[in-house]
Amino acid sequence: MFYNSENEPEYLLYVSFPEKNDHILSDISNILLLSLFFIFIIIIAFSGSLYQLIKQKKISEIKTDFINNMTHEFKTPIATINLALDSIKNPKIINDKDKVLRYIGMIRDENKRMHTQVENVLRISRLEKNQLEISKEIVDIHDTIDDAINHVSLLVTSKNGDISTHFEAITSEISGNEFHLTNVIVNILENAIKYSGDSPNIDVYTESTNKFFIFKIKDEGIGMSKSAQKMVFDKFYREQKGNIHDVKGHGLGLAYVKEIVEKHHGTVFVESEKGEGSIFTVKLPLI
C-alpha cells in the first residue's frame, strides 16, 4: 500500500495461522474416521471370508477322507461275506458241515465288524447330542484295564507283541461306567497297536494321588508330530502318511476317548516324539 520513491514497499504485512493443522484436521476428521472404520470393516469381512473358505476346505477334505475310510472299512468285510456265501453255495462244500460252519463263522465275524464300525459313528453322534446315557457305579479301574487288555490280547499275540502292566496305584476305585471306560482303554490300546509296526511293545502304568487315579499307556511306535498332538482328539482326524488307507480307521476312537473321559470329569492328553512312540495319560477323579 505504501511505496517509497524507488517504488519499493515501505511496510510488509505478515499473517500467521498457528492452528492451521488443527483446523485442517478438524475439517477432515469425520471423513478420516469413517474411512478408517470402513477399512476396518473390510479387513474383518475379508479375514472372516478367508477363514470360512479355509474351514470349508478342511471340512470338505475331512468328509472325503471319512467317506473313503468308511467305504474301505466296509469293502473288505462285504467282499469276505460274498466270497463265503459263494463258497457255501458250491455243491462240493454245502454238504461239508465243518466248512459250512467255518464260513458261517466268517460271515458272523465280518458282520460284527461292520456293526462295530457303525456303532462307533453313532456313539460319537449320540455323545454330541447328549443322548448317550452314562450310568455310574463304583469301578475298580485295575480290573477294567485287565479286561481291556484281554480284549486286544489276540491282536497283540498275532503280531508277536506284548503288553506289560505296572500297577502302582494304591487306590483304584472310581465312580464311572465300566462299559465305556473299557472302551476308552481298548481304543487307546488299539491305537498303540496300529501305530507300533510289526511287534508292538506296550506298557501300562498306574499311579494315584490324593484326588486322582492316573494311568498311562506307552508304546514304542512311530510317534506323532507336535501339530498332530494338538488335533489327535478331534473327530475324524488322522495324521496323513501319503496313503490314507495304510492304517485302518476313521479318526473316531480318540475323539470318543476324550468325550468319555470328560464325561467322567477327567482329562486325557498325549506326549509324543516322531519315531519314539507315544504316551497317553488319563486322569480320573477318585471317589
What's domain 137-285's superfamily in CATH?
Histidine kinase-like ATPase, C-terminal domain (3.30.565.10)
Query: What mean pLDDT comes out for the span 51-70?
Result: 80
The CATH class of 18-132 is: mainly alpha
Residue 18: the pLDDT is 82
Residue 87: pLDDT over 70 = yes
Which residues in the chain are classed under CATH 3.30.565.10? 137-285
**Whether the Cβ atoms of residue 202 and residue 161 lie closer than 8 Å to each other:** yes
More confidently predicted of 257 and 27: 257
**Whether the Cβ atoms of residue 284 and residue 266 lie closer than 8 Å to each other:** yes
Residue 132: the pLDDT is 65
d(CA 84, CA 68): 24
CA 66, 134, 217, 230: dihedral to nearest 10 degrees? 50
d(CA 114, CA 111): 5
pLDDT tens, 205-241? 999 999 999 999 999 888 888 888 888 887 766 665 5
The pTM of this model reads 0.63
Query: What mean pLDDT comes out for the span 79-103?
Result: 84
Residues contacting 50, CB < 8 A, separation 6+: none
Residue 245: the pLDDT is 41
Lowest mean pLDDT across 128-137, 188-197, 262-271: 128-137
Mean pLDDT across the chain, nearest whole number? 83
* Phi-psi category of residue 265: left, alpha or beta, with phi > 0 → left and psi -120 to 50 → alpha: left
Residue 129: the pLDDT is 66
Query: What mean pLDDT comes out for the span 238-253?
Result: 52
Residue 244: the pLDDT is 40
More confidently predicted of 80 and 237: 80
Residue 242: the pLDDT is 41
Query: What mean pLDDT comes out for the span 266-280?
Result: 91
Phi, psi of 176 (to 5 degrees): -165, 180
Residue 91: the pLDDT is 81
Residue 43: pLDDT over 90 = yes
Identify the band that residue 127 occupies on the pLDDT scale cut at 50, 70 and 90: low
pLDDT tens, 89-99? 888 888 888 88
Which residues in the chain are classed under CATH 1.10.287.130? 18-132
Query: What mean pLDDT comes out for the span 255-283?
Result: 90
Query: What mean pLDDT comes out for the span 122-131?
Result: 67
